[in-house]
Amino acid sequence: MSTVLQTHELVRTFGGFVATDHVNLAVEAGARHALIGPNGAGKTTLINLLTGYLEPTEGRVVLNGEDVTRMAQHERCRRGLVRTFQINQLFADMTVLESVAMAVAERHGLGTRWWKPLAAQAEAVDEAAQILQRLGLLSDAYERTRNLAYGRQRLIEIALALAQRPRVLLLDEPAAGVPTSESRELFEVIAQLPREVTILLIEHDMDLVFRFAERISVLVSGALLVEDTPEVIARHPRVRQVYLGEG
Ligand code: ADP
Ligand code: MG
C-alpha cells in the first residue's frame, strides 16, 4: 500500500495554546480511515491544516509525495485533496442536478459560462447524473436543494465534493445534525464510494465509526494517542479511559 496523505511533526498553536501537537498521520491509498477524539481534541484543526485553510506553525503536509505545506487550498483541491463544504445559498436555490452539474463544469474550467458550449454542458450533466446515481440522489435530481431532508442535503455536499474528482476525500462529521434514522443510510452511501477515493473521516458516533473504518487514529489534546484497527482501538485501555470515559 502507498501513502497518499501524510503529515510530519505537524504543529499548530493559537497564541500559547497547542491545538495540533507534533502529529504524524499517514493515510494509505484507498483507506477508510477515521479520526476520532473528544471535543476540542483538534480534529477539525487537523483537517484545516491538511486542506490549507490553516497554516501550520511547524511541520509538513505531503500529498502524493509532494510537499503541499505552503500550497493554496485550490491548488491542493486540483491535486485531488477535497473536503465537503456546506451548501451555500446559491446551491440551495438550484436543483440538485444543476448544483452538481455546475460543480462539474467548474472543475472543467468552464466557470459561469458553463452553459455556452452545448457539448460541454451535456457532458457536465451526464457526469452529474452519474454522481447522483452513485449516491442514490437521482430521484431528487429536479428538486430544489433547500426542499430536501437534511440527510439528503448532506449527501449533496458529498456529491459536490465528488464533482471535484477527489483522490482523497475529507469528511468532517458528515452526519452532524442528521437524525439517527437518516445517518445510517448516509454512512452506507459513504462506505460504498469507490476505492479509488481515499476517505479520511471525522465522526463522533462510535457505532458509525466502527462500522465504517478499517483504520482509526485517536487524537487527544492535539496529539495522536494511537492509530490501529477498530478491533485494537476498541480494546485500548487509554482510549477507553480518555475517549469513552471509563476507568
Ligand atoms: P475538534 O474538532 O476536535 O472538536 P477543534 O480542532 O475544533 O477540535 O479545536 C481544537 C482546539 O483548538 C479547541 O480548544 C479550540 O477552541 C481551539 N481552536 C480551534 N480553532 C481556533 C482558532 N481559530 N483560534 C483559537 N483557538 C482555536
Ligand atoms: Mg470539529
Does the beta carbon of 39 lie inside 6 Å of ligand 1? yes
Q: How many angstroms separate the alpha carbon of residue 132 from the centre of ligand 1?
A: 34
pLDDT, position 92:
82
**41 CB near ligand 1 (under 6 Å):** yes
Which atom in ligand 1 lies closest to the alpha carbon of residue 41? 3
Backbone angles phi, psi at 114, to 5 degrees: -65, -20
Instruction: State the ligand closest to the CA atom of 172.
Output: 2
CA atoms within 13 A on the CB side of 24: 3
* Per-position pLDDT tens, the chain of length 247: 699 999 999 999 999 999 999 999 999 999 999 999 999 999 999 999 999 999 999 999 999 999 999 999 999 999 999 998 777 776 788 999 999 999 998 888 766 555 566 777 888 999 999 999 999 999 999 999 999 988 899 999 999 999 999 999 999 999 888 998 889 889 999 999 999 999 999 998 888 899 899 999 999 999 999 999 999 999 999 888 876 666 5
Instruction: Tell me the ligand closest to 23's alpha carbon.
Output: 1
Dihedral sign, Cα of residue 122, residue 126, residue 128, residue 129: positive
Query: How is residue 97 written as a grid cell?
Result: 442536478
Question: Does ligand 1 come within 6 angstroms of the Cβ of 42?
Answer: yes
In ligand 1, which atom is closest to the CA atom of 48? 6
Protein residue with least CA distance to atom 17, ligand 1: 19
Question: Which ligand lies nearest the alpha carbon of 171?
Answer: 2
Residue from 13, 25, 45 whose mutation best tests the ligand 1 pocket (most atoms within 8 A of CB) = 45
Q: Residue 13: which residues within 8 A CB-CB, separation 6 or more?
A: 19, 57
Nearest CA to ligand 1 atom 20: 45
- Provide DSSP, the chain: --EEEEEEEEEEEETTEEEEEEE--EEETT-EEEEE-STTSSHHHHHHHHHTSS--SEEEEEETTEE-TT--HHHHHHTTEEE-----HHHHHSBHHHHHHHHHHHHTT-GGGTTSSHHHHHHHHHHHHHHHHHTT-GGGTTSBGGGS-HHHHHHHHHHHHHTT--SEEEEESTTTT--HHHHHHHHHHHHTS-TTSEEEEE-S-HHHHHHH-SEEEEEETTEEEEEE-HHHHHH-HHHHHHTS---
Query: Closest-lying ligand to the alpha carbon of 40?
Result: 1
Residue owning the nearest CA to atom 6 of ligand 1: 42
- Domain architecture of the chain: domains with CATH: 3-88+166-242 (3.40.50.300)
pTM: 0.92
> Closest Cα to atom 19, ligand 1: which residue?
45
Q: From ligand 2's centre to the CA of 120, what distance in Å?
A: 38
